[in-house]
Structure 1
């Protein structure tokens, strides 16, 4: 065999080795791309599932907040109705105390008895006024307490609904 033939044969062998090498690289590259695509697909799926879970949790929390707000509104309405009833009872009590204070007195001609009757009437009027002011203040404090209690319970319920 001559050199040119040997070089041609050697060139063919080298070319076939080069072809096999390039084929192996392309197979490895396609396998790496497939594995990368599979990882990316799994990552994307995990991301989508996480977003869906986050949206579901957000909706659950929003619904829980709406329920808490509705319950607090109902409790405020009940407290307002109770306060209105208490105000009406307080007004009746004040009216009765005013009438009682107006009727206190000592009829007669004895000036000492009449003086004592007038003093008793003044004392009854002062006590009636004191009762009216104390009842009004107690009503105000009760309304503030009721609102604060409802707000505190709503806050607690809201926190409980937001924490897992």
Structure 2
């Protein structure tokens, strides 16, 4: 072999070794990129799982807050209904007593002026008894409506607060 052939072989050997080093560098770079990508994907998946878990926990907290608000409102309605029934019974007793009083306001006797005054007093007592009865019934209706509105408002507020306030 001549000097020229040796040079070509050496040159090819040098170029070949550079080519092999370059290819090795690329494969190492690809392996590092694949490792980094796998780590990033693993981190992304972990963040996704944690996010889903936190979202489920928040959804459960909100659902529980809604259920607590609903249960408390039901308790309040039961208490208000019981109070209204007691007030209705007391109002009925008051109306009955007023009617009895109005019925007994007559003046027995022989004096016609006294009898007429007794009849007028009886009519006035009956009107007042009827007025008391109506006023008491209306007050009862208004109290029931107020209780319902108050309980609904409190339930709405508790429900809203359960949805908007963070857990803690």
Shorter-chain-normalised TM-score: which range?
over 0.9
How much does 1:107 deviate? Answer: 1.0
Alignment of 1:142-157 (within 5 A): 142-157=143-158
Alignment-derived partner of residue 66 in structure 2: 65
Matched position secondary structure for 1:131: helix
Matched position secondary structure for 2:109: coil
Matched, 1:86 2:87: yes
- Mapped to 2, the partners of 1:46 and 1:117 lie a distance apart of 90
1:123-144 deviation per Cα after TM superposition (whole angstroms, max 9, x unaligned): 0000000000000000000001
**Aligned length in residues:** 164
How much does 1:40 deviate? Answer: 1.5
Alignment-derived partner of residue 40 in structure 1: 41
Q: Which segment is superposed worse, 106-115 or 30-39?
A: 106-115
Matched, 1:116 2:114: no
1:80-130 deviation per Cα after TM superposition (whole angstroms, max 9, x unaligned): 011001001111111111111011111112221111111111100000000
TM-score, length of structure 1 as denominator length: 0.95
- Mapped to 2, the partners of 1:83 and 1:53 lie a distance apart of 44
TM-score, length of structure 2 as denominator length: 0.93
Structure 1: state its 5+ residue gaps. Answer: none
Matched position secondary structure for 1:20: helix
- Mapped to 2, the partners of 1:155 and 1:123 lie a distance apart of 47
- Mapped to 2, the partners of 1:88 and 1:20 lie a distance apart of 101
Alignment-derived partner of residue 96 in structure 2: 95
Structure 2: state its 5+ residue gaps. Answer: none
Alignment-derived partner of residue 3 in structure 2: 2
